[in-house]
Amino acid sequence: MVPGQDNVASGKKPSLEGLDALKTNGFKTVLYLHAVDADLSAAKETVEKRGLKFVALPVTPTNLGAASKTFAEQLKDATSKPLFVYDVDGIRAGTLWYLQFRKVEMLSDEVARIRAGTLGLNDASASREYESFWQATQEQLAKR
């Protein structure tokens, strides 16, 4: 569960057993944060077969502002909860959580990094993709 978020959990892509556990534990919605070119058909089918609602949100450095707004709206939607948020490698989830903590919850950089770090934000690998997301994140923060 995500501290400070009512009925929201976040993690990596769940296994089949993980999806079954989400259903058993009363989760209603699975939010998949993905690359624009990701094939959603298998994920959608697998989630919906378990009676869970599947929501897909494309997240890229170029659409980060719009994606973070949609993400914040999804977190507020009581009809979707309990909600499980995931991505494949943590970059998209960590980035959106960091922006949520900074822009919506108004947390400091240090606190937001720590909280988002447990949810996927990790600059240890510092890949080119991570660097693109981090630059876009800083541009979003400069706009407020």
Sketch out the chain's domains with CATH numbers: 8-142 (3.90.190.10)
Q: How far is residue 134 from each of residues 19, 75, 100, 128, 144, measured CA to CA in Å? A: 30, 22, 14, 10, 16
How far is the C-alpha of 83 from the C-alpha of 21, rounded, in Å?
Answer: 13
> Would you state the structure tokens that stand for residue 18, as one six-digit string?
């993980």
How far is the C-alpha of 7 from the C-alpha of 48, rounded, in Å?
Answer: 20
Confidence band, pLDDT 50/70/90 cuts, at residue 124: low
pLDDT at 34: 97
Percent of the chain clearing pLDDT 90 (strictly above): 90
pLDDT tens sequence across 42-78: 999 999 999 999 999 999 999 999 999 999 999 999 9
pLDDT above 90: residue 84: yes
pLDDT tens sequence across 1-48: 998 899 999 999 999 999 999 999 999 999 999 999 999 999 999 999
Residues 106-127 have a mean pLDDT of 89
pLDDT at 127: 87
pTM of the model: 0.95
How far is the C-alpha of 46 from the C-alpha of 53, rounded, in Å?
Answer: 11
